[in-house]
Structure formats: structure tokens, C-alpha cells
Structure 1
Amino acid sequence: MTTGGAMYAVTVDQVGSRSDDDRVEQAIDVVRSVSDGHEVLSPERTAGDEFQFLLDDPAVLLDVVFELVRTEGWSIGVGIGDVEEPVPASTRAARGDAFVRARAAVDRAKEVPEHVALEIADDRRLRTADVEPLVVQSVRARQRRSREGWELADLLRAGHSRTEAARLLGVTPQAVAKRWLAADLRSDDAVHAALVRLLTEADTPA
């Protein structure tokens, strides 16, 4: 079996599962909805209240991670590295450095307030410290966003202008402008694009 195919492995573990209902299947549905069939390996429960999946698109990776953060209650570990080929049909059977890194990352994620961590294989162009702080900062900004801020963010992401969003929300353009600033939406798209470029470079062998 050869090793190759740089990819993004993700391990997700439910926070406080002993005192909460098992919500793994709902989270798997979130991943499938956001990734829209772009998974290399679909999410599968691997043990207890944990599941894993594999992606090869950094933009999809960010969208999935950010949406899981928004649903709350998950520790998320992202591993960047090689995956053993041929890639098996089941996530549970997959092996490789990306999965080893994802396991280490989710263990660290359980110990930090944002519940998100990322680890990059040693043979990559960038180091973990080059990428993880920026991803975590974006997570932190989203965790601070209010319900009203998310309402506006969702409309803008769907392609509506701020004027159209004001009409749909039944508020004034001035109120939308205040929400836009409070939710820190001014640089949302630019930061997302920059993170995609950074993750792409991080996924490149040195």
C-alpha cells in the first residue's frame, strides 16, 4: 500500500456527551449538508460519540468546521497530511498521517475554549503554528456573533445585498449597517479566501 494524496482529515467528538443526548447523527447530517457530496470519505461514527471524515477541498473544510462550531457542542480536530492509498470505502478503515494528526488535534481541542485545533504533518510547507492561530481566531469571531449577526451573515452569504437584507429582515438600512459592523462581517469573505489559500499551501509537500 502506498502513501500519498495530501488531504484534510477531521475528527469530531461531542462535548459533555455523558450529560447530554447523543447528537452525532445530527452533526453528521450537518457535515453532509455543508459538504454537499464533496467528501473523499463520508462522515462515519468511529467510536462512541466521535465521528471522522476526509476532505480534499480547503474551502469545504472551512465551511464544515465553521458550521459545526456554530451548532456548538463539538471538539474538532483537523489533520493535514498524507493518506494511505488506495483510499478505502469506509472512513473507519482509512489510515495515514492526516488521521494521526486529526486524532492529536481533537485531543488538544478538548482543552481549549474554542474546541478547535489543527495539526500539520512535518513534511509540509507550513507548520501548525503558521495556520492554526488564524483558523482559531476566525472561529473565535464567529462564536462571538449574535443571533442578529448570524441572520444578516446568512442573507449576505446567500447573495443578498445589504439593502435587500434590510427589507427581508424588516429593519432599516442603518440597523443592518450596525449589525454588519457588530458581527465583523466587513472582512468575512476576504478572511475566508485567505484561509483557503493558507490551507492549500499547508497541504503542499515541502
Structure 2
Amino acid sequence: MFVITADQVDSRHSADYVEAALDRLNDAYGADLVLPAERTAGDEIQALTSSAATALGIVLELFRAERWSIGLGVGAVDRPLGSSTRASRGEAFYAARDAVEQAKSSQVRFAAAAGDHTDDILTRDAAALIALLLLMLERRTAGGWEIHDLLAAGLSQAQAAERVGVTPGAVSLRVRTAGLKLQDAAVDALVRMLESADASTEEVS
């Protein structure tokens, strides 16, 4: 199981973005969340999912917002689950707590940790590669993100070019410069790594 715990950066000197983030996450990923994402304390949010793709998607989305320190925990959760994410417990939750604290001093404000009964090496390897992906995304220009969003919405490169008002060749250049195909390949590989880490989790009695 995967737990994402995110703490808003410098919340004392900025608006509270928790509710907007929760609305977005529950709307975009709700079908793949075990329980709705929710505020756990103050300016912190937490989400629980059994899907590696959803866990990584949430990490990428929160990172792009540039407002969060993000911790990803991989491991077992106590059964039965609580009535809410906030009321649930288990190794994945404790690992996510450790990870978000580590993330606060990380260059990309992200860290991952494994529960006691989950493969720590697999999780650390995935975390290192996710950090590299985030570093690449941090350097993406607004133009690169514009094309990313249009293609993610289902438009072809030709349609994106028409929408933006540039040539198809200019869109192809943006795709290469933004590393969009590299991102897709990296996400696929990272999902497989996270799935393997999750599969290594031993049942905790």
C-alpha cells in the first residue's frame, strides 16, 4: 500500500492551499484512493492508495504545485482500516511520516521510505530515481508544460500546434526539450519499481 503525506511549505506566510489540493486530488484520483484524501493536521494532507501509478501521479502533481514537502510511504496498513485516512494506521503511514520529514531538507522536497516489512532497497532506489525525474520537471519551461498538458488531454501534436498557434515543428522541439517522452518512459519504469516494492511487503499480523 502507498501513503502520501504532504506538508505545505511556509504555510505561516501564505494562504492555506490544503482544501484546493484535496478537491483536486479527490476529483482526479478518487476512484483509485482507498479512502478520500484529507487534511490530517494543520496544513498537512494525506492520501492512501493501492495503485503505484496513482501514488506517483499524486507525487508529481503536488510537486508541480511547488507548495509541498512530499513523503511517500510504502508498506502494510492495519486492517480493518479506520473510517477515514486520518483514522487509519500502519507501517506505510509511519514510513510516510518519516519520509515527509526527510523531504523538508531534500533538494526536490520529496523523499520515500519503506515500512519495516517492505524491501527498503527497492524503495530507496525508486526514491532516488523519482528525485531525478522531479529535478528534470523543475527545470521545465512554461511552454513545455503547456504542450505537456495539451498532449495529456488527448490532443495530437498537430492539434496542440494549432491550439498554441505555432508550427508542428515547434511543438516537436518543445516535446524534445521538455523531455516528455523521457518522462513517460521514466514514469512507466518507476511504477513497475514501486509495484515491486509494494509486492515485497510481508503481511503483518
TM-score (norm 1): 0.92
Q: Which residue of 2 aligns with 1:164?
A: 159
Q: Shift in Å at residue 186 of structure 1?
A: 2.4
Measured on the aligned residues, the alpha-carbon RMSD in Å equals: 1.4
Q: Which residue of 2 aligns with 1:50?
A: 44
Matches within 5 A, 1:28-47: 28-47=22-41
Distance in 2 between the 1:30 and 1:105 partners? Answer: 23
Are the equivalent residues in 2 in contact too, given 1:58–1:199 (CA < 8 A)? yes
SS at match of 1:12: strand
Distance in 2 between the 1:198 and 1:125 partners? Answer: 11
Q: Which residue of 2 aligns with 1:4?
A: none
* Higher-helix-fraction structure: 2
Q: Which residue of 2 aligns with 1:96?
A: 90
Q: Shift in Å at residue 56 of structure 1?
A: 0.7
Q: Which residue of 1 aligns with 2:189?
A: 194
Are the equivalent residues in 1 in contact too, given 2:140–2:178 (CA < 8 A)? yes
Q: Shift in Å at residue 126 of structure 1?
A: 5.1
Distance in 2 between the 1:44 and 1:33 partners? Answer: 12
Indicate yes or no: 2:178 matched with 1:183: yes
Matches within 5 A, 1:20-169: 20-125=14-119, 127=121, 128-169=123-164
* Higher-strand-fraction structure: 1
Q: Shift in Å at residue 124 of structure 1?
A: 2.4
SS at match of 1:135: helix
Are the equivalent residues in 1 in contact too, given 2:78–2:88 (CA < 8 A)? yes
Unaligned runs of 5+ in 1: 1-6
Following superposition, which runs of at least 4 residues in structure 1 exceed 6 angstroms of deviation? Answer: none
Identity of aligned residues (%): 44
SS at match of 1:36: helix
Q: Which residue of 2 aligns with 1:8?
A: 2
Q: Deviations over 1:5-43 (max 9, x none)?
A: xx1011110000111111111111121122133211211
